[in-house]
Structure 1
Amino acid sequence: MLRKDDFVLLLSEKRTYLVQKSHGKLHTEFGVIDLTKIKKYGQSIRTHKGVLFLVVKPTLSDMMKKLKRMPQVVTAKDAAAIVAHVGIRPGWKCVDAGAGSAFLALMIGNVVGPRGKVVSYESNKKFAEVAKQNVKKCGLEKIVKIKNKPVEKMNEKGLDLITLDIRNVDQYIEKMFKALKPGGWLVVYSPYIEQVISARKVMQTVGFAHITTKEVIEREWQSDYFSRPKTRMLGHTGFLTFARKVSKKIPIKKKLAEKQKTEKEN
């Protein structure tokens, strides 16, 4: 039995509507739908003009199309590449820094499930509030936690995955290395190649292995009469740099370099 504040997705061959039952009546170009008559997912309902709609439970993908966006979000194509490359599993413990509107945190949380945890850091108070609202709207507040703090204050340890979408990312890579468990993954989202280059250098220095950078390009096709790629496409959004923690400790060469630098300064 559905509650009055539950979201439902109304599907027809031509249109979809995402609404809450509590809205009472939905006015559409196909007629008025009485939402109070919706009792369960899977049922059918007609508008007052007789147009049929199927009532289904919205997926996270459906919900995210209606979420509020503040800064530019990590798109589904990039989030899917992260999930696939690192092989996220239920029960993983993750940190996401640079929550923005919480799109990436939500997609990771949807995979790790109730046994997992995603803590997402966002220093901007306005962004953090929007992120919290989006998490609650998707019903993942028990899995995804938004912290209105800079990533410098991160204190989680033994993590399976850390994702970074922040400025000056190279300054935080060593801290992330220490926070990951052996075998854990660090993923850096960078809009510019210069940021990728500096991040990779630090990753190599502190002891990360299997460092890989990818760019995901998405192109939709149209096939009404003749098949061809659509004129518009979702091109460059950001670079994804993956790195894995293999060693438990920062390499000796890193420590020696720091010692030599300190001695030189003194």
Structure 2
Amino acid sequence: MTENEVRKSLRALFTMKLCILHRSGSSFLQDSEKDFHTKWGVVRSKDVKIGKIVSNTGEEFLCCPASQGDLLRNLKRKAQVILPKDAAAIIAETGVHTESKVGDAGSGSGWLACFLGGIVKEVHSYEVREDHKKVVDENISRLGLKNVKTHLQDITQPIKEKGFDLFVLDMPTPWEALETMTAAIKQGGFLVVYLPHITQSLQFVNGLSDSFLHLKTFETLQRAWMVEGKKARPETQQLHTGFISVCRKV
């Protein structure tokens, strides 16, 4: 191939966004034509292709088109995010789908908004901090999501968007947004609140108006295991992330 043909081929590859996987479990995104540097050596951009690739030290990697999960794991973070296990539980409990309209407040880094944006029809994400909103906008742009809109707005004040099938509140005082939620969520829709402490969940549930029925409050516990050769043991990590309260608009 000529040099121009190589460059054209590389541009086509990097346009699709690539995930480079190492046998250690580490994964990296490669979305530029620059050489890829890791602690296991350098992968030259001209050597990148779908399939097995080798660094200058002889270390093998697997290169494949990036999935939504790969892209989400590599998003920029400004604040703590709702992790995949909790986001998946919210989707399972509420049943949102490709025709659903969803809102979230306390965008943080926008991870949940981006996660939902790959599943539902429309997402509106509300954030009071301009620096956080900037990160959310960057992450949305990086994923190329056209159905996720951000708003620099205090959710405790009225919002113009209505008819939500699901609204997720990730904020310290969600009870202050109940009046807004009553007007914004459609009848039969879901209000989900994510909080780090059970005392906050208790205060929220006890403060619910007659407009909402509390269905359940739970936490999701996920424990990863190290499996290598003949050895298998739990990995040392924090199991608890937050409490999820699920309510229904009546």
Give, in angstroms, the shift of residue 36 of structure 1.
Answer: 3.7
* Structure 1 contact 6–20 (Cα < 8 Å) conserved: no
* Structure 2 contact 72–115 (Cα < 8 Å) conserved: no
With normalisation by structure 2, the TM-score equals 0.84
Query: Residues 216, 123 of structure 1: CA spacing in aligned structure 2 closer, same or farther, 3 A cutoff?
Result: same
Matched residues in 1 for 2:46 and 2:188: separation?
Answer: 51
Q: Does 1:55 align with 2:63?
A: yes
Deviates more, 1:6-15 or 1:168-177: 6-15
Q: Secondary structure at the match of 2:207?
A: helix
Unaligned runs of 5+ in 1: 247-266
Matched residues in 2 for 1:29 and 1:74: separation?
Answer: 29
Give, in angstroms, the shift of residue 175 of structure 1.
Answer: 2.1
Matched residues in 2 for 1:236 and 1:199: separation?
Answer: 19
1:70 to 67, 71, 78: 78
* Amino acid paired to 2:113: A
Query: Residues 167, 21 of structure 1: CA spacing in aligned structure 2 closer, same or farther, 3 A cutoff?
Result: closer
Matched residues in 2 for 1:59 and 1:31: separation?
Answer: 24
Q: Secondary structure at the match of 1:172?
A: helix
1:9 — aligned with what? 19
Give, in angstroms, the shift of residue 70 of structure 1.
Answer: 1.6
Q: Does 1:179 align with 2:184?
A: yes
Q: Does 1:26 align with 2:36?
A: yes
Unaligned runs of 5+ in 2: 1-8
With normalisation by structure 1, the TM-score equals 0.80
Give, in angstroms, the shift of residue 22 of structure 1.
Answer: 2.3
Matched residues in 2 for 1:118 and 1:38: separation?
Answer: 35
* Amino acid paired to 1:198: Q
Matched residues in 1 for 2:195 and 2:116: separation?
Answer: 18
* Structure 1 contact 7–18 (Cα < 8 Å) conserved: no
How many residues matched?
238
Give, in angstroms, the shift of residue 179 of structure 1.
Answer: 1.3
Q: Secondary structure at the match of 1:99?
A: coil
1:258 — aligned with what? none
Q: How does 1:160-239 map to 2 (within 5 A)?
A: 160-203=165-208, 205-224=209-228, 225-230=230-235, 232-239=236-243
Give, in angstroms, the shift of residue 153 of structure 1.
Answer: 4.3
Give, in angstroms, the shift of residue 128 of structure 1.
Answer: 0.7
> Larger radius of gyration, structure 1 or 2?
1
Give, in angstroms, the shift of residue 44 of structure 1.
Answer: 3.8
* Amino acid paired to 2:74: K
Question: Cα RMSD (Å) of the superposition?
Answer: 2.3
* Structure 1 contact 21–36 (Cα < 8 Å) conserved: no
1:45 to 45, 50, 53: 53
After superposition, what is the alpha-carbon deviation per residue over 1:184-221, rounded to whole angstroms, capped at 9, x for unaligned?
Answer: 10000111222212221232x33222521011122122
Q: Share of identical aligned residues, percent?
A: 34
Q: Secondary structure at the match of 1:206?
A: coil
Give, in angstroms, the shift of residue 134 of structure 1.
Answer: 1.4
Give, in angstroms, the shift of residue 6 of structure 1.
Answer: 4.4
After superposition, what is the alpha-carbon deviation per residue over 1:122-180, rounded to whole angstroms, capped at 9, x for unaligned?
Answer: 0001111011111212222x021121211124221111100001232112113212211
Give, in angstroms, the shift of residue 66 of structure 1.
Answer: 2.2
Matched residues in 1 for 2:213 and 2:110: separation?
Answer: 28
Q: Secondary structure at the match of 1:189?
A: strand
